[in-house]
Structure 1
Amino acid sequence: MKAILFCTALTTMFFQHGYAQLKRGSFVTGATVYPLVRHWTDGTVEVKSYQVNVTPGVSYFVKDKLAVGLVAPWTYVHHKHPDRSMSMETYAVGPAVRYYFPFGHWAVFPMASHTYGRQTRKYIDTFSTTSTLKGNIRTFAAGLGITYFITRHVGVEAMLGYEKMKVTWKDGADVPYDKSNITLNAGVQVYFSKK
């Protein structure tokens, strides 16, 4: 989170204040971040977990206010039980679309994306025995976000979203894994115009 704030402050120094460029022919690039740390009890056992989701992307405004592009989400999750642990890493890429409704220095935008990628899970048990599962992941995400344009070319944003994912394991030994999440992401986007 400190890195995002630092990058925002640094970028602000290089651009003049004003409105973002949401016109046809412009580009937008940036990333959203979703960190999560949890502690919970599984029966009588305390479980520690942390998760990081980073979603960089680049889009092109095919018409005023409508941006179409690619996102490449990366996720890392680690669960630690007293007698075992699990780590999971996911890479994916896919198309995304946004439509902006600007008002002043603000804009509201609905967003949708559909990504495909790979997921690897590693399990370590009490006896330090390691097992690994590899699979293909498909994710649909949609949400509603809000952007505040701190300069003509830089916006900070927050987005509340819904995510549905399905993992099919390569060895076929396990049934497909389906999961849905509600997410809250924050990020920085940089807008480049032709003018």
Structure 2
Amino acid sequence: MKKLIFAGILAATGLTATANAQIQKGNWLVGSSLISSNFGLNTGGGYNIGIQPKGAYFIQDNVAVGGYVDLGINKVTNGSPTEFTYGVGGLGRYYLSPGEKGVDNLLHHGRWFLEGNVGIGGRSVENADSTTGLDFGAGPGYSYFITPNIGLEGLVKYKGRAGFGSEGLNSNITFNVGFSIYLPTSKAKEVANDLK
């Protein structure tokens, strides 16, 4: 356990990689997006919270593929039914390199990226119709590296669901904030061995 904590501290302080090495072939990305959150401040106000853990492997420089899980809960007002959303599927990311046409390396410590996903998702509404269907989304984002291995991320994403049940297509635009940890394969193997 001490080795695991030590490995986490090393990753957090940025001692495990150089500033340009985090999105190279063979590295891992592990993180989560807070899909949306809002809380009604008026009497009887509702809330909307979502989280999307994700993990990906860099199959080549600047290109990562992996998976995600989507979980959320929504209540419009105090008396409205509670809605649960869920999803699981695959995702892909492409990081734009500085120097590519139209790419400006904002603050010299981050990278723009494009993210897309496809999977199975749905929603379940308390005492009402529910649906499951094709879950998909795409959008641009930016990862600002606070250390060489940890990025704070913002992502604007179109999110859609083509329902197979009582509901057809529904979609929205989400504003996501989250973080990702970038681990070189050698460090990921050390962490896996420490967990054994």
Q: Shorter-normalised TM-score: what interval?
A: 0.7 to 0.9
C-alpha contact 1:106 1:149 (8 A) present in aligned 2: yes
Residue in structure 2 matched with residue 31 of structure 1 by the alignment: 32
C-alpha contact 1:47 1:79 (8 A) present in aligned 2: no
Structure 1: stretches of 5+ with no match in the other structure: 1-9, 41-45, 123-130, 170-174
Matched, 1:107 2:111: yes
C-alpha contact 1:119 1:137 (8 A) present in aligned 2: no
TM-score using structure 1 length: 0.75
Residue in structure 1 matched with residue 23 of structure 2 by the alignment: 22
**Matched position secondary structure for 1:133:** coil
**1:169-184 equivalent positions in 2, closer than 5 A:** 169=165, 175-184=166-175
**1:12-91 equivalent positions in 2, closer than 5 A:** 13-16=12-15, 18-19=18-19, 20-33=21-34, 34-38=36-40, 48-80=45-77, 84-91=79-86
**Matched position secondary structure for 1:35:** strand
TM-score using structure 2 length: 0.75
C-alpha contact 1:11 1:154 (8 A) present in aligned 2: no
Provide the rounded CA distance (Å) in 2 between the counterparts of 1:76 and 1:89. 5
Structure 2: stretches of 5+ with no match in the other structure: 1-8, 98-104, 187-196
What is the total number of aligned residue pairs between the two structures? 166
- CA RMSD of superposed structures (Å): 2.4
C-alpha contact 1:116 1:137 (8 A) present in aligned 2: yes
Greater strand percent: which structure? 1
Residue in structure 1 matched with residue 189 of structure 2 by the alignment: none
Greater helix percent: which structure? 2
Larger deviation, residues 49-58 vs 84-93: 84-93
Over 3 Å counting, the alpha-carbon distance change for 1:13 and 1:56 in structure 2 is: closer
Summarize deviations over 1:159-194 as a string: whole Å, max 9, x none.
11111223333xxxxx42432211110000000113
